[in-house]
Chains A and B, each alone.
Chain A
Amino acid sequence: MKKTKRVLSLALALLLGAAVISGCATKSAAPADTTAAPAAAAGEAPAASQAAPADTQAAAPAAPEVGSGEEPEVVGATVEAVPVIPGAYTGVVRDVVNVGISGDVGDWNPFIFGTPTAELALQGMYQYLAYNFNGQLYPCLMKEYSFSDDGLTIYGELFDYIHDSAGNPLTAADVAWSYQMNVDMGGTGIGDVVQECVATGDYTFEFHLKEKLQVGRLDKICKFYIVTKAAYEASKDEMHTTPVGTGPYKLVEYTSGSTIKYEATGNYWQTDPQYITRCDQSNVNNINYYIISESSQRAIALQNGTIDMCMEVANEDLKTFESSDKYRVYPLISNYNIIVAPNCDASKLTADVNLRLAICYAISSEAILESVFAGNGNVNHEMSPSWAAGYLPQWDGEENYYLYDPAKAAEYLAKSSYNGEELTILCNTTEDQTNTAQLIMSFLSAVGIKSTMLALEDTSYRDYLKVADKWDIALRLAGTNTYYLDFIYGEMSKAKSKMEGTWNFAIDDELQDLINFTVLQENATPENIEKLHEYLIEHCYQYSTVNYMEYKVVPEWVSGVSLSMGKIIVPGGCVYTQQ
C-alpha cells in the first residue's frame, strides 16, 4: 500500500514536471522574430470597380480627380483577394468554417452602435443600402440612386424583390423607418447629414440632406443597417437577442461570450450574381464564430485545428503560420495610423508651434516602423496613408513632412519657449502604443526635451484625452476612411470633435474654414487639397507617423480571401477548394 502511494506521488510529481518542462521547451522554441512577412507595395490588389453595375454610379456627382483610392490590401504569394463583385461562384461550397474572433457582439439590435467585433459578426445577416469599396458604391439593397440638381436630395430605388430570412418583404417604408430608428438610437452619425428620409413609393425613397454633400459622406448615408419593421415588431426583445435580417445568413445559435453560429438561409433574395458583392456571398453553409479573447489562445486554436481562420494574429505568432503548408498568411495594410498629437491648448507649452515642430522633427517614423512594427507597414507623408482617395501622389516625394532631422528639431526648440519642463505623453496601454511612446521619449530626450509616459487602459485613456491639463502629447490610433478629406475632417474638424477646436485643442478658425470648404464635393480639387495639406504641415497640429500591416491567417484550402469594408474576413465570400 505504502509503495503504491509512493509510486502515485512520484507519478503525479513527474506529470506536473513534464507539463512545465514541455511548456518551457515550446515557449523557447517559439519564434521571436516577426520580420518575415512579405513586404509589398500598397494598392496592388485588383480594383473591382469595372465589375460594378454601371447604373449604380450613373447619377453620382463628379468625384474628385485625385488620389488612388485603390484597395490597400497587400496580397500574399498564394492567396488572392476576391474582387468586390466576383461573379458567379465557381469554387467549392464548404459545409462548415470555424472562425476565431476576439470579442463578443453583445447586442444584436441593428440600430445600436456596436463594437468592431459586432461589425464582423453582423455582416452577412444585416445589410446596408450599398457598400463602399475603393471609393465607389456597389449596390446591396439599393438598386440605384441619383441626386437632385441642387444636390440636396438623393433619390434611391430598392430592388423590388427583397425579403428577410423570416420571409417579410422589405420596402421603402422600412428604409425610412430604419433610418429614423438609427437617428433615434444614436451612433451612426447619419443624422448629422440627413434631414429626413421619406418613402415616396413602394420601392423608392428620398434622403433630404441638411447641406451639400461632403466627400465621403455618401457612403456613410448608405451605411446603416436596414431591417423590416414587421420582423422587428415580431421580435420578442427588439432583436437584442433574436436578430432577423435580409442577408444570406441567419443566426441559429448564440452563447453569449462563447459562440455565434450562422447558417445560410438558403433563400437569399438576391439571385443575380452581378449584384452580389463579396460581402453577401454564401460560399459556406455554416459559419461558427468562436470568441477567444486571448491572442495566444487564438494562435493555439488555429494550430490544433479547432478554428480554421483567425481575424487577428499577433506578430509573434506569425512565423509559425508562415512556415507551415497548412496555412496562408494574408498581410494587408491596416486602416490605422499612429498619430502623434501635441496638445494645442493655450495653457500648454505645446501651444507653441516651434515646440510642436521640434517634437515632430525629433521623431523618426522610420524607427517607429522598424522597431515597433518590425518594418511591416509604410511611413506616412501626410496625415493619411497614400492609398486614401484624394491623396496627391506628389506628397510621397516631398521632403517637408517632418523628415527626421535632429538639427532642425534643435533649431526649432531653441526658438520655442521650452525651458526644460517635463512633457507628459498620453497613450493607450496596448503594446504598440507603449513601445511607440518609449521610442518617442528617447527621441525627445536626444534633442533635450524631457518627457514621461502616461499609459492608461482604453476607456480611461479616452476620458483623459478630453482634459487639456492631463497631457502634452497624445498618441492615438486614427482609422483612415477611404477618403483623405473625410479623414482630415474626422481628425481636425471641430464639428466632429464637438469642441471649440480639434480634439487636441487647436482652436483655429482659418483651419476650420479651410476644411469645411475643401470637403465639399465641388471644392475637392487637387489645388484646394494641396492648400489644406500645406496649411496642416505649417501649423503642425498633428503628425501621422506610420500606417502598419495587419495579418489574417486562413487555411490552405482557402484560395481567395474576401474582406469587408472594415477589412474583416468575410467567410461567406472566400473561395474554398475543399468541402
Chain B
Amino acid sequence: MGRYILHRLLLTILVVLGAAVVIFTIMHFVPGDPVEILLGNDATLEQYAAKRSELGLDKPFLIQLWNFMYKAFLRLDLGASWTRSTPVLAGMLERLPRTFLLGILSIILTTVVAIPIGVNAAIHQNGLQDRGLIVAAMVFISVPEFWLALLLIILFSLKLGWLPSFGIESWKSYILPVVSGSMASICTLARQTRASVLDVVHADYITTARSKGMVERDVIYGHMLPNALIPIITMIGMSFTACVGGTVVMEQIFSFPGVGLYLSDAISRRDYPVIRGCVVVMAAFTAILMLFVDLAYGYVDPRIKAQYISSSAKKGKVNEKRHRRPGPKHHSGHGNESQ
C-alpha cells in the first residue's frame, strides 16, 4: 500500500510539472501584452522595454520557462503578481480558505441532501419520490448555475431581504453561493445514488438480510449503501477538486473574493505569475485529492484494497527478479536495496 501511495505521489509530481509547462506555454502564446496593461498608453518605448526586461519577457521562451520552473519547483517561489505587487502564494493563501470553505459547504450540502434523496428514490422505484427526483434532476441539471444564482438572489436577497447578495461580510454570505452552486450536483449525485442503490436493491444478500428480519434502515444503510458507494465516492471526489478551481462562476456572480475570481481577474489582466501560480496549486491540489479518493475506494471496498496491495507486491517481485537477473550493469536505488 505504501508503495502504491509513493507511486501515485511521484505521478502527482509529474502531473503538476506537466500542468506548469502547459499553462506557461499557453500564456506565452496567447494574445495580449501584459506590459501595455501594466504601464498604460502613456509610457514611452524605453519604459516599455525596461519593464519587459524587468519582468523577463525579453528573454527566449525556453529561458523564461526554465526560470519559472526553477523558481516554482526548486525554490517554491511562485513570484509576485504583476498587477498587485504582492506574492502570488500569499494571494492564494488569503483566498484559498474562502474558496475551500465554499466548496466544502457545497459538498456537505450535496452529500447530506443527495444521498438520502437518491436512496429514497431507489427504494421507492417508480413511486412519487422517484418520479419527483427524476423531474427535479432534469430541471436543475439543465438550469445554468449562474441563472439559478440570479433567481435565488432576486428571491432571497431582493424580494425577501433575508440574505446578502454578494461579498463575505457574514456567514449568511455563503448561503446563496453554496445553495446555487450545489443544486446541479445534488441532482446529479442523487441520480447516481439512485442508480447505484438500484443495482444492489435486488441482490441476494439484501433479500437474505430482509429475510433474517433486519430493520429496513439497517438493510439500507448497513448493506445496500456501502455496496453502492464506489461511484458515489468518485463523484464526491470530483466535487472536491472543484473546491479550488471550479467555483469561478459562483465567485464572479456573488463577487466572492476567492481563488476563482483571483484567477479570472488575472487572466483578463494577463497577470502571468498569478495565472501560473493558481494553475500549479490547483493541479497539485486536484492530483492529491484524487489520490485520497482512490485510497478511499480501498477502505470502502476491501477487494480494491487487495488489488492495490497485490499489484504493488507483483511490481515489487518483478523488480526483484529483474535485479537478480545477470546482465548489463544496472544499479537503481531499488536494485541496490534488493541486492
Contacts and interface: CB of A to CB of B under 8 A. Distances in A.
B150 interface: yes
B83 to A, nearest CB: 5
A393 B42 CA distance: 30
A479 B33 CA distance: 21
Interface in A73-106: 104, 106
A296 B150 contact: yes
A460 B151 contact: no
B144 interface: no
Interface in A105-133: 106-107, 109, 112-113
Nearest to B143: A20
A31 interface: no
Chain B contact patch, size range: 35 or more
A311 B51 CA distance: 32
A297 interface: yes
A148 interface: no
B157 A187 contact: no
Contact of B165 (A18, A24, A297): A297
B154 interface: yes
Interface stretch (B195-203, B225-233, B264-272, B330-338): B264-272
Interface string A3-32: 001100110010010111011101100000
A151 interface: no
A509 interface: no
B262 A257 contact: yes
Given A255-B168, A294-B253, A186 B39 contact: yes
Chain B interface helix/strand/loop/mixed: helix
B117 A9 contact: yes
Nearest to A296: B150
Which of A109, A304, A458, A460 has most B Cβ within 10 Å?
A: A304
A188 to B, nearest CB: 6
A109 B81 CA distance: 13
Interface string B151-195: 111111111010011111100000000000001000000000000
B140 interface: yes
A256 B84 contact: yes
B246 interface: no
B150 A23 contact: yes
A295 to B, nearest CB: 11
Contacts of B91: 256
A504 to B, nearest CB: 14
A142 to B, nearest CB: 21
A22 B43 contact: no
Given A9-B129, A256-B84, A463-B32, 20 more contacts: A5-B129, A16-B140, A19-B148, A19-B152, A20-B151, A23-B155, A104-B265, A113-B38, A113-B39, A186-B39, A187-B42, A189-B43, A192-B44, A257-B95, A257-B261, A258-B256, A259-B167, A292-B255, A294-B253, A459-B33
5 contacts: A20-B151, A189-B42, A241-B86, A256-B95, A291-B255
